A and B are shown apart, each in its own frame.
Chain A
Amino acid sequence: MNSIGEECTELKKKYDDCFNSWFSERFLKGDHDDSVCAGIFKVYQDCVKNAMKQQNIDFKEIDKDVLGTEGEYKAPPSGSS
């Protein structure tokens, strides 16, 4: 899959590979130390944020958390939709 910034796609792939093996082989097996991909994530992040800045994307709106907050939509009681 491509990154939003063409120049970040290679970094994204490297990070995704790192994450996917960490997720399968460590996280799901109970090892929650996520430092192994931190280095590549930082480099990839810098690239993506730069690309998004150039596309005038609103960072504030992305940073806003909704899941797990008061703002999260709740399903109506079943049968009332």
Chain B
Amino acid sequence: MARYFENTSTFNFSWDQVTRGYWKRYPNPQSTHVLSEDTWSREVKDGCLYTKRVLTKTNRVPKWGERFFNAKSVKIIEESMLDPEKKVFVTYTRNLGYTKVMSVVERVEYRSAGPGLTVARRSAWIDSQVFGFSRAIRAFGVDRFKKNCNQMVSGFNHVLHSMFPRQVASQHSMTHTLKEMREAAAAATDRAKANVLSTVNRT
């Protein structure tokens, strides 16, 4: 029985921006594990774009896992369907080979959630059929997957921010934050001075 995992992340970019950024996601500072990326097939059918890509990623496993899974890299097949009318983009990835040791299937659905907002709903199924070790391998797989999710989101955000910099909005909030930080620092200094004084007075 595969372990199921899901989460949702929100990108502060329009659906068009997210889908444009998706194809330029690699490389990014969080994607050092992605070694190659190729388009295997691509076609427009009934107004939707269907793409199949093959990716190679490094395979990081713990010491105990090396006896089952000693490959240096794994290949991933990514199928996707993009409907520009409904603004729905679904990606479906699975590993090629080693599926008895560990199979990881991930489905992500990107939907527009209002102007400048896109929600990604991620589902993952992780399974292993190694006799006596499947529980441990599944648990490891889920753990690694969860960690990779955060990296994936921050790497993707990095690419989106560099493709679509938002001058006005982000500068405004940055100034605001800096002001708040300065005030908080001044307040802390005052408190510290008061503390020192009260200590000095006591002795």
Residues of A within 8 A of B (CB): 1-4, 8, 12, 15-16, 19-20, 23-24, 27-28, 30, 32, 34, 41, 44, 48, 52, 57-58, 61-62, 65-68, 72-73, 75-76, 81
Contact = CB atoms under 8 A, between A and B. Distances in A.
Contacts of A67: 79-81, 90, 92, 107
A76 B96 CA distance: 24
B40 interface: yes
B16 A28 contact: yes
Contact of A28 (B19, B80, B81, B125): B19
A68 B81 contact: yes
Interface of B: 2, 4-6, 16, 19-20, 23-24, 26-27, 34-40, 42-44, 47, 49, 52, 54, 56, 75, 77, 79-81, 84, 90, 92, 94, 96-97, 105, 107, 123, 125
Contacts of A41: 39, 42
A58 B94 CA distance: 14
Given A19-B23, A73-B125, A81-B5, 12 more contacts: A2-B35, A2-B36, A20-B24, A27-B49, A34-B42, A48-B40, A58-B96, A62-B40, A66-B79, A72-B92, A73-B107, A81-B4
A20 B20 contact: yes
B35 to A, nearest CB: 7
Contact of A61 (B84, B96, B107): B96
Contacts of B49: 23, 27
**Residue from A15, A62, A72 having most chain B Cβ neighbours under 10 A:** A62
A32 B123 CA distance: 30
**Residue from B24, B38, B56 having most chain A Cβ neighbours under 10 A:** B38
A52 B38 CA distance: 11
Nearest to B4: A81
Contacts of A81: 4-6
26 contacts: A2-B37, A3-B37, A3-B38, A4-B36, A15-B39, A19-B23, A19-B42, A23-B19, A23-B20, A23-B23, A23-B49, A27-B44, A27-B84, A28-B84, A34-B43, A44-B39, A57-B75, A57-B96, A58-B97, A62-B54, A66-B79, A67-B81, A67-B107, A68-B81, A73-B2, A75-B6
Cβ-closest 10 pairs across A and B: A67-B92, A67-B79, A4-B36, A1-B26, A75-B123, A1-B37, A2-B36, A81-B4, A32-B44, A48-B38
B83 to A, nearest CB: 11
